Structure 1
């Protein structure tokens, strides 16, 4: 019997913590967005339109890195305090490479890494 590869992704707009369910203790991979506060100030000084374009491009690259990391999993739960998870979900739904991946979204608050791991463990133990 083939085991399903399961992944929990806690994320906000600045970073994502990826936790594969099958490993104990969890191995956590972190992906960070490259668009930082100082970039925002620098871009804003040159014009608001430029800042928004730079921010969108940076977010797209961030989401692409996450999607590359999760493409080999069969069941993924995206969770966290912001709408970033919903934006990533929308992007993944438009990509035919993710048609066979079961992706769920759960709203949570900010969490410590222990809380994130407990959430993933509980979520997939019940699934």
Structure 2
């Protein structure tokens, strides 16, 4: 029987830790985002809509990088403290390459890499 390729991704809007579930040693790949949380500024020369569009483009690039990594897997657990995991799922749902992948989404708190590893191991075991 063919082995199902499984992947765990802990993410927020800043970075994603990608962990393949295998019987061997876990390796964590990190993908960083260029998304910046906007703080209130005294500058009024830039329109809010321009800032929003720039940030949306940065998030799209980030989600595409993660999607490129995901496309060769069969089961994926997306977890983390923000709604970035839901945004990623929505982004990928528009692409037919991801229709056969089984996704699950779980809310979690911030976690150390060791806690992330344990979460993925327990989830797929």
Q: 1:65 to 1:49 in 2, by over 3 A?
A: same
Aligned length: 123
Long gaps (5+) in structure 1? none
* Cα shift at 1:79: 0.2
Contact 2:13 2:35 in 1 (8 A): no
Task: Quote the residue 2:110 is aligned against.
Answer: 110
Task: Quote the residue 1:98 is aligned against.
Answer: 98
Counterpart CA distance in 2 for 1:102 and 1:96 is 13
Contact 1:44 1:50 in 2 (8 A): no
Q: 1:7 to 1:45 in 2, by over 3 A?
A: farther
Match status 1:15 vs 2:20? no
Task: Quote the residue 2:86 is aligned against.
Answer: 86
Instruction: Please give the TM-score of this superposition, normalised by the length of structure 2.
Output: 0.91
Q: 1:44 to 1:5 in 2, by over 3 A?
A: farther
4+ residue stretches of structure 1 with deviation over 6 A? none
- Tell me the C-alpha RMSD between the 2 structures: 1.9
* Cα shift at 1:36: 3.2
Bigger shift: residues 29-38 or 74-83? 29-38
